[in-house]
Structure 1
Amino acid sequence: MKVSVWDTYVKRENGKLMHFDILVPNKLNDEQIILNFGTTYLESKTFKTERISSKICKFCHIEQATDAIINDIKNKGFSIIEMENCD
């Protein structure tokens, strides 16, 4: 499965900058749906963040999905790769 990678940066309440990728099936290009996936992910955190928007969440590239990413997408419609300051 090929997935689109959306590079995302969100400021936390403590001023740190979170960096994570939102991965979705490559045929999904509805930006609002992708931003909603990001919001769902952020709501799972124990700390507050700024709201996700198209200014801080941008399409980056397409790549081949791993089995773990495919399972995430099958179960919730998206997958997240945490890069920096996500916990």
Structure 2
Amino acid sequence: MSIDSKKILTYQKEFGKQLKKIRLSKKMSQLDLAASCDLEKTSISRIENGRTNTTLKTMIIISEALNVNIYELFDFEI
């Protein structure tokens, strides 16, 4: 089974939008989140803008830093 690259990009963008929404609801800057995750601010920016396909490990680290269940990062509709 082949996954369409356009579909992957759509999921990346929606994931990023949801991450940003949660981050802002926690009143955190990208820099705050990056520091909490031991990541570069540019990494958070790329994820939020849908420019990178992040790993499961990074998603877990981010969800823990935001104090949310990982499934909340996927609470979006395509």
Provide TM-score, normalisation by structure 1. 0.29
Provide TM-score, normalisation by structure 2. 0.31
> Larger relative contact order (C-alpha < 8 A, sep ≥ 6)?
1
Q: Which has the higher helix share?
A: 2
Q: Which has the higher strand share?
A: 1
